[in-house]
Structures are given as C-alpha cells and as structure tokens.
A and B are shown apart, each in its own frame.
Chain A
Amino acid sequence: MKKRSISVFLGLGLVVLGSLWLLQRLLMPKYMGDIVEGALISEYYKETTDHDVIFVGDCEVYENFSPITMWEDYGITSYIRGSAQQLIWQSYYLLEETLKYEKPEAVVFNVLSMKYDTPQKEAYNRMTLDGMKWSKSKVDDIRASMMEDEEFADYVFPILRYHSRWQELTSDDFKYLFTKRPVSQSGYYMRIDVKPAQTFPKPKKLANYEFGENSWKYLEKMRELCEEKGIQLILVKAPSLYPAWYDEWEEQIKEYAKTYELPYYNFLELTDEIGIDFTQDTYDGGLHLNLSGAEKMGAYFGKILRDEFQIPDRRADETIASAWAEKCAAYYDMQKRQQEELDTYGYLKMFNSDKE
C-alpha cells in the first residue's frame, strides 16, 4: 500500500513538473518571427569549435561585423555575443561566461553601451538574459540588470513572466516548442535589404557627458578579466550614424585606452577607408549596416586583427574548417533566401510579417 502511494505521488509529481515545463516552453517567446534578436544569445551554446576573437556588445556588433568574411578572407574564427541594447555589465557577464568555455586571443568590445549606466528596459533584459545558461555569471547579470518592477523569481521560472502570453500564442510557438532554427551565423544578424542613410536630427545637448560610475566599473572589470586571462582587449566604435556618438564620449574612451594602452578603433572616422557607402551599405537608414556593409567591415577589421594582433589563420585545421564550412553554407543559404524574398516581395517578408 505504502509502495503504491509513493508511486502515485511520484507519478503525479512527474505530471506536474512535465506539464509545467511544457507550458513554460510554450509560453516563452521564441523570437523566430519579426524580432529574432532574443534568440541570439542561446545560439552560442551550439558552437562546436573555439574562437580566436569574441565580440561583445549591442546591435552595433551583431549587425555590423561579418565573422564569415573574416573567416573566408583571413581564416579568423570569431563569434559575436551580442544582443539588443546589451548593457555593458551584460557584455561583461557574457564575456565572463564565455571564458569558462574557451580562451580567445582577443575580445572586441563596442563602446556605445558605455552611455547607459542603469538598467533600461525589461524587454531587452529578457532578450539578453533568457538565452543564457544558468551559471554564477547569469545570476550576477540578472541582479545587475533588473529594473525596479522585476523579480528574480521571474528569471528562475520564466513562466511567471510570460504567463500572459497565452493570448498571443502563434503557430511559431508550437512549431519551435522543442527546437529552434538558427537565426545568426556566428552571432551575426544578416540583413541584405537597403535603405539609404537619412538625415538624423541634430544630437541633443546633454546635461552631463561623463560616462556613469557603473559603466566605468564594468569596463574596468572587463579590462582586468582580459588582463588576468592574457587576452587582448580591443575597444571599437562601430560605424553607425545614429544614435549620436559625442566628441566628449570619444575623448573619454581615448583617454581610457591611452591610460591602459588598449587599442581603440572608431570606425565612424574610418568609413571612407573601409569603403562604406551609406546609400548602399545600411538597411535602416544608417543605424545598422546591411550584409554589404558588414562584409566590408569584416574585411577591414579582419586585416587589422591579422596584422596588428597576429590572430592566426585556422583554415588549415580540418575540424575548424569543416565547422566553418557549415557556417558558410548557412550564411549563403540565408543570403539566398533573403534575396529571393526581396526579389519576390520587394521587402524581407521574414522580418516584416505585419506587411502581409
């Protein structure tokens, strides 16, 4: 009798846990439709080979650099650990986590996120944090990122956060219940469409141009972490025309780089040399580069990485070459699919379902 009771109890427990797990998976956003940025972070865990270069930062890294070009041109293996409005502490903790899996030669950090000293938006937090595997880095990242109205428990049990999505479920939620399709190639988010750069409003005058204490703290932590691990930290400012990058900010970064002898590249000042044409190389009017622009950036920066930092050419390594061959195939396949959509509809349907 007692044995039977234990079996029943265990059976019901399994039903409860199984159904809750299933419900949680169903209700969590899949980021497979218009907004795929939320799926970027988790894709890293599917990588089979190590990387020599790790990018961390916001949309200015995952939309502006093509790792495939860097591989094809220079044999550089790289991965972009970026997500939408990724704050500097999120970049730091993602880097900390990445270094538990591998030890790259160089880490590239895009400095735009220095402008944010406090958590900004819950939706962006979730896009960065939900995809991370559980680790101390994730816990610290959540604690650093939570907005006032957020609860830690909502990250531990995402069903508590997404329970109200039952009203918004689409076929994608069922289709990608257990497996998702890849949305990036080595963390790069591809867009092949073109929308020439527009005129942006004159940058607003700021009351204070000093980067915040928190931003400096995490930049410092990032520098120390790289130093401790013997990794070259490279600071960059991607060539996005908007949001504004102020001269005062530029000076502070330059000063910091000089103090700690860190390389710093402001690609906004190098667009002519790179060959970026903002009438052709951006898909959203100058905020982010399209594939053509990202490939130009990849070619240009890849050369710097090879020549200035001696990042090795791994094309002779069969295992790595085979893994990257698959990535290249996926890259060109995505390019082809986007081109077909562009030819058929005149826009990228996969990112604009509302136009249907």
Chain B
Amino acid sequence: MLFTSYGFLAFLAAVLILYYTLCRRFQWQLLLAASYLFYYWSGPKNLIFIMVTTVTTYFAALKIGHYGEISAAYIKENKAKLTKEERKAYKAGMKKLQRKWMLACLFLNLGILAVLKYTNFAIANINFFLDAFHVGEPISFKNMILPMGISFYTFMAVGYLVDVYRGKYPAKRGLFSFALFISFFPQVVQGPISRFDDVSGDMWADHKFDGKAVSFGLQRILWGFFKKLVIADRILTAVNTIIHDPATYDGIYVFLGMMFYALELYADFTGGIDITIGTAELFGIHLKENFHRPYFSKNIAEYWRRWHITMGTWFTDYIFYPISVSDPMLRFNKFARRHFGEYIGKRMPVYTASAVVWFATGIWHGAAWNFIVWGMMNFVVLMVSQELEPCYKWFHKHFNVNGTLWYKIFQIIRTILLMSALRMFDCYRDVSLTFRMFGNMLVHSRIPQLFDGRFQTLGLAAADYLVLFIGLLILIVTSLIQRSGSVREKLAAKPLIVRFACWYGLFLAVLIFGAYGVGFDSSQFIYNQF
C-alpha cells in the first residue's frame, strides 16, 4: 500500500484513533496487528518470509543470550576455582557456540534474501557465459517473489542478532514484541534500518496522547507528502522521458536528466522517510534520522555520512569493521606492510574492506550490474579523493580559499555534480549505455540544444517548472533554516496565525499542486523496490 494512497491515510487514521482510545496496555499489540495487516496487503505469501526471519532471529538471539548468561554465571560462580587460562578457554568455547547459532541464523536469513533477490541475476550471468562459450542450454529464469521491504527488515534482524552476539544488549524476551520491531509498518517499506536499542525504549512503552507529538508527526508527514507529490512525482515525467529515450535526449538533456533525477531521488526518498518518521511519531516512537541535509555536503565522504545514514552505519558496523578486524585481514595487513611498505601496506586492508562494503552497497540497491558498478564507482571516487588529500592540503596552503563562502558553495556544487553523475547508473540501468551517455554529455552538450524544441517535449508545462522551481526554493530555504535547529520547533514558537499560514499553506500546496489522482501515474517510492 502506497504511503500516499487514500487507503493508507484511512488505515493510519483508524490505527491512530484505536491506539489512543484503547487501553494503553494493548498499544504495542495493536501496532503489531496493524503492521501484519499492512504487510498482508502487500501479498499474503510475503507474510511467511517476514515470519520466518522474525522467529528464527528471535530464537537464535535467545539462544545466544542464554549461552552468554550461562557463561557469565559460570565464570562468576567459579571465579576463584578457575585460572585465567581456564576462564578464557571456557569463554571461548561458549563464544563458539554463540557464533554457531549466529552464523546459522545469518546463513538462513541472508540466504532467503540472496535467493529471492539475486537468483535471476545469477542466472542471467551464468547464461551470459554459457552463451559466450557456446556451452549448454540457457537456464530459464525463476518466478521469484520479492517480499516488501525484505532488504530492510533482514538488515534490521541481522543487526539485532549481531548486537546480541556482541553483548551490546540482552536478547528481547517476547516473540510478539520482537515481531513488532521487525515488522513495524511505517518503516518496513523503505527503512530507516533501525537498530533495536534505538527504538526499544519507545516501541513497547505506554503512550499517553501528546498533542504536540501528534501534531509534529502530522507536520512531518505533510512535509513528506510535499516532497513526494509536489516535487518528486511532478519531475518524474521529465526524468522518464529523458532516460527512456536516450537517442532523442542526448547532449545537454543528459545533464538535465541527471540533475532532475538528483532532485527526484532526494525528494522521493527523503519524502518517504519524512512520512515514515512522522507516522512513527504519531505513535510516540522516534526513529533514527536517515538524512542530514546531504546536498550541503562538501565532499563525497561527508555526503555518505549524511545520505541514507542508517544504511551507511549498518554497512560500517556489520561489514566494514568485522572485515577490518578479522584474522585474515589482520594477516593481510601484516603481509601488505611487509611487502609494499608502510604507506601502501596501511591502505590496502582498509581499501579492501571498503571495496567489499561498496560492492555490498551496490548489490543491496539492486540485483544488476549497474548497481554494482555504481557502488564500485563510489568506492573509486572515495579512494581517489583520499589519495589526493595531500594535493588538497598543498592547494589550501597556497591559496587561502578554504572556509570562504564561495569556496564552500563550489565544494557543495562539486559534490552534487559528482554524486549526480554516479547516479546515472541508476537512471539508465545499463552500464555501457550509462558510460555512452556520460561521454555524450561531456562532448556534445550545448546550451542552444535547450531551445531546439526538445525541451517542450519533456512532458512538463511552464506551470510545472514554476511549481518545481518554487518547490526547490522551499526545500533549500527549509534546509538552511534547519541548520540552526528543528524547523517544527521554530515554527511552534511563532504566533498562531504564522503557524496556521505555514502549515495550511503547505497542505494546500500538496492538495493543489501534488501530482496524484486520475491523470497522473502514481509512482511507487523509489526505495520501496529495495
């Protein structure tokens, strides 16, 4: 069910009313029932997969926790009797048991994700080689279902399991309450990838109706609707026109498509997350922020700290660090330093772990080579900028521009252009076509092409561009205000008439200028497909 559908709004209103009118003891149970109903609407068969992940993760974590408790109790009880070595050996034995449970559970759940999401991608690649070497018959593609939000809830489950294994917090007792963490309906569609300890304080607590919290939640949802319906879904027409007809829309139109897509993706994804976070706030649950004004980043590393934050930190915590401190990597570190010297040897393990993370990031976004290449290109750009650091230092030493407004603006624009260029892989969904169009953009772009008649065929009228321009201005101004604190808090301190004008104005903007209903192709949120 699309967040921007009437059905979702009706569903949300019904759940919200019940939530605050029912006995508070049953609030989280109501959310669980609502979440499973919501998930059921995405396809009854999908329920099986989320249930399997929930049940297996829950019991594996309990088992891991149980071994942890036994271990701690045994050591405590026998502290005096055991030598340090014996204690260490006992702990290691128990840890091994815990690891077995963790690995089995990870294998099962990541296996489900891999099979459902990547089987046809693997078949396509195998068929490519079979065809290239004229060996055997091609394998037929499988009709796989992809349960809604599988990448998101699997990652949440994995994060929880690993954290329990690491002893970050004890395993949650209560299968149903744990099931709510995995299936909580606002976040199951497109994240954020929540951590158990971030939401556990709110999720099962009793929530008294709080007018301010509910009104803040509604405001956040409205803001999300504005981004999604007024900006993302309006510009979508032009983006689709350009990328689906690369033969017609070349030269400067590739650049235009690239920039339009950057705006669409931002408005779509952040809008969706605003709706998610706002919806959770209605129930008194605070989810992690997933964006921190990413288009104000001054370099690509900073950008990735501010864009899809929960995904970035997940990959860092559960892939980058484990790889970096793993035994093979430590051995590789020693080997590299010995054979390639301190400078290269120090970097090689870090870059290897980074490469794995970016490969995983790419393939997480989609089972296609364009996503993998996109991920690896991010890695390359990050690595190159890291290696060029001494050059930047030299430049800043000799030219005193660092910190000036114009240089900051230059850095921001450079980062936006760089990220937008990389996203062309996401736009064209074909690696060779993306390289071709990128080259075409660099070589054949001419300003007069904007006036050769093609601009009028992008599917947007002058009024649409005006709406987009004003929408973009509102986004920028809001982001600038946000730098010094929450916009909602600031507005809440204003006189009633100002607050009313702002929020009612925003509501009317969505109502009138939103691209929804008959005559518009209601667009799925881009990140729903992951």
Q: B463's contact among A19, A122, A167, by CB below 8 Å, is which?
A: A167
B505-517, CB under 8 A of A: which get 1 and which 0? 0001001111111
B518 touches A153 (CB 8 A): no
Contact call A159/B511, Cβ cutoff below 8 A: yes
**Contacts A12-B500, A151-B6, A153-B6 known; A163 to B514 CB distance under 8 Å?**
yes
Interface presence of A270 (CB below 8 A):
no
Using a CB-CB cutoff of 8 Å, which residues 6-29 of chain A contact chain B? 8, 12, 16, 19, 23, 27
Q: Which of B6, B512, B518 has the most A CB atoms < 10 Å from its CB? A: B518
Could you tell me the distance in whole angstroms from the C-beta of B500 to the nearest C-beta in chain A? 6
Do residues B512 and A166 form an inter-chain contact, with CB atoms below 8 A? yes
Contacts of A159 in B (CB 8 A): 511
Residue of A8, A19, A122, A167 ringed by the most chain B CB atoms within 10 A = A167
Give the chain B neighbours of A150 by CB distance below 8 A: 518
Distance of A23 Cα from B510 Cα, bound (Å) = 13
Are B511 and A164 in contact, CB atoms less than 8 angstroms apart?
A: no
Q: Which of B514, B515, B518 contacts A122 (CB 8 A)?
A: B518
Query: From residue A8, how far is it (CB to closest CB) to chain B in Å?
Result: 7
Counting CB contacts under 8 A, is B135 at the interface? no
Interface membership of chain B positions 454-465, coded 1 if the CB is closer than 8 angstroms to chain A and 0 otherwise? 000000010100
CB distance from A27 to the nearest CB of B (A): 8
Minimal Cβ-Cβ distance residue in A for B496: A8
Beta-carbon contact of B496 and A163 below 8 Å: no
Given A8-B496, A12-B500, check contact A163 B512 (CB 8 Å): yes
Q: Which chain A residues numbered 191 to 232 have a C-beta less than 8 Å away from chain B?
A: none
Question: Is B392 an interface residue, CB under 8 A from the partner?
Answer: no
Instruction: Tell me if A163 and B517 are in contact (CB < 8 A).
Output: yes
A273 contacts the other chain (CB 8 A): no
Interface contact A166-B517, CB-CB below 8 Å: no
Residues in B neighbouring A16, C-beta threshold 8 A:
504
What CA separation (Å) do A122 and B517 show in the bound complex?
A: 12
Residue of A nearest to B510 (CB): A163
Q: Which of B461, B517, B518, B520 contacts A167 (CB 8 A)?
A: B461
Given contacts A23-B512, A163-B511, whether A154 and B517 have CB atoms under 8 Å apart is yes
Determine the chain B residues whose CB is within 8 A of the CB of A167 once the complex forms.
461, 463
Question: With A8-B496, A153-B6, A167-B463 as given contacts, are A160 and B504 in contact (CB-CB < 8 Å)?
Answer: no
Q: Enumerate chain A residues within 8 angstroms of B517, measured Cβ to Cβ.
A: 151, 154, 160-161, 163-164
B103 to chain A, nearest CB (A): 48
Which residues of chain A in 156-178 are interfacial with respect to chain B, using CB atoms and an 8 Å cutoff? 159-161, 163-164, 166-167
In the complex, residue of chain B having the shortest beta-carbon distance to the beta carbon of A163: B512
Type the 1/0 row for B489-530, where 1 means its CB is closer than 8 Å to any CB of A.
Answer: 000000010001000100010011111111110000000000
Q: Which residues of A contact B496 (CB under 8 A)?
A: 8
Q: Which residues of A contact B500 (CB under 8 A)?
A: 12
Contact B463 A161 (CB under 8 A): no
Q: How far is the CB of A58 from chain B (nearest CB, A)?
A: 22
Q: Are B461 and A161 in contact (CB under 8 A)?
A: no
Residues on the B chain within 8 Å of A154, using CB: 517-518
Complex Cα distance, B518 from A151, in Å, reads 9
Report Cα–Cα, A161/B463, bound state, in Å: 18
A163 to B496 Cα, complex, angstroms: 27
**Which of the residues B6, B504, B513, B518 comes within 8 Å of A166, measured between beta carbons?**
B513
- Asked if B518 and A149 sit within 8 Å, CB to CB, the answer is yes
Residue of B nearest to A153 (CB): B6
Q: A153 to B504: give the CA distance in the assembly, Å.
A: 21
Interface residue tally of chain A, by bracket?
Answer: 10 to 19
A73 to B6 CA separation, bound complex (whole angstroms): 53
**Interface size grouping (class) on chain B:** 10 to 19
Cα of A11 to Cα of B430 in the assembled complex, Å: 56
Which of A160, A164, A167 gathers most chain B CB within 10 Å?
A164
Cα distance, A282 to B517, chains bound together (Å)? 38
**A314, chain B: closest CB distance, angstroms:** 43
Q: How far is the CB of B188 from chain A (nearest CB, A)?
A: 24
Interface residues of B in 207-229 (CB under 8 A from A): none
Shortest B268–chain A CB gap in Å is 19
Complex CA gap A308/B463 in Å reads 60
Residues in A whose Cβ lies below 8 Å from that of B511: 23, 159-160, 163
A21 to chain B, nearest CB (A): 13
Chain B residue contacts of A8, Cβ below 8 A = 496
- Chain B 55-98 residues near chain A, CB threshold 8 A: none
A281-B519 Cα distance, complex, nearest whole Å: 38
CB-defined interface of A130-160 with B at 8 Å, one 1/0 digit per residue? 0000000000000000000111011000011
Interface 1/0 per residue, A52-78 and B, CB below 8 Å:
000000000000000000000000000
Query: Closest Cβ of chain A: how far from B518's Cβ, in Å?
Result: 6
Residue of B nearest to A12 (CB): B500
Chain B residues within an 8 Å CB radius of A153: 6
CB of A164, distance to nearest CB on chain B (Å) = 6
Complex interface: chain B residues within 8 A of A161 (CB): 517-518
* Separation of A27 and B463 alpha carbons in the complex (Å): 16
Given A16-B504, A23-B512, is A164 in contact with B461 using a C-beta cutoff of 8 Å? no
Which residues of A have CB within 8 Å of B504? Answer: 16
CA distance A151 to B512 in the complex (A): 17
Question: Closest CB-CB distance, B2 to chain A, in whole Å?
Answer: 12
Most buried by B among A19, A154, A161, A163: A163
Question: In the assembled complex, which residues on chain A have CB atoms less than 8 Å from the CB atom of B463?
Answer: 166-167
A152 to chain B minimum Cβ distance, whole angstroms, is 8
Interface residues of B in 15-62 (CB under 8 A from A): none
Within residues 248 to 302 of chain A, which ones have a CB less than 8 A from any CB in chain B?
none
Chain A residues with CB below 8 A from B516, complex form: 160, 163
Complex Cα distance, B511 from A164, in Å, reads: 9
* A85 CA / B77 CA spacing, docked (Å): 87
Q: Smallest CB–CB gap between A5 and chain B, Å?
A: 10
Distance (Å) between the CB of A148 and the closest chain B CB? 11
What are the residues of chain B within 8 A of A163 when measuring CB–CB?
511-514, 516-517
A residues near B514, Cβ cutoff 8 Å:
163
Complex CA–CA separation, A160 to B433 (angstroms): 40
Looking at the assembled complex, report how far the CB atom of A99 sits from the nearest CB atom of chain B, in whole angstroms. 31
In the assembled complex, the CB of B399 is this many whole angstroms from the nearest CB of chain A, namely 49
Residues of A contacting B520 in the complex (Cβ-Cβ under 8 angstroms): 164
B499 to chain A, nearest CB (A): 10
The docked-state distance in angstroms from the alpha carbon of A167 to that of B465 is: 12
From residue B496, how far is it (CB to closest CB) to chain A in Å? 7
Q: How many angstroms from the CA of A150 to the CA of B508 in the assembled complex?
A: 22
Q: How far is the CA of A16 from the CA of B511 in the complex (A)?
A: 13
Q: How far is the CA of A16 from the CA of B507 in the complex (A)?
A: 10
The CA-CA distance from A93 to B511 in the complex, in Å, is 31
Chain B residues with CB under 8 A of A122: 518
Once bound together, how far apart are the Cα atoms of A151 and B9, in whole Å? 13
CA distance A154 to B514 in the complex (A): 14
Within the complex, what minimum Cβ distance (angstroms) separates A153 from chain B? 5
Among residues of B, the one whose C-beta sits closest to the C-beta of A5 is B496
- Bound-complex Cα distance A154 to B516 (A): 11
Q: How far is the CA of A151 from the CA of B6 in the complex (A)?
A: 8
A34 to B519, CA, bound (A): 21
User: B5 to chain A: closest CB distance in Å?
Assistant: 9
13 contacts between A and B (CB under 8 A): A19-B508, A122-B518, A151-B6, A160-B511, A160-B516, A160-B517, A161-B517, A161-B518, A163-B511, A163-B516, A166-B512, A167-B461, A167-B463
Q: Which 5 A/B pairs are nearest by Cβ-Cβ distance?
A: A167-B463, A153-B6, A163-B512, A166-B512, A151-B6
- Beyond A8-B496, A160-B511, A163-B512, list 5 extra A-B contacts (CB 8 Å): A23-B508, A27-B512, A154-B517, A160-B517, A163-B511
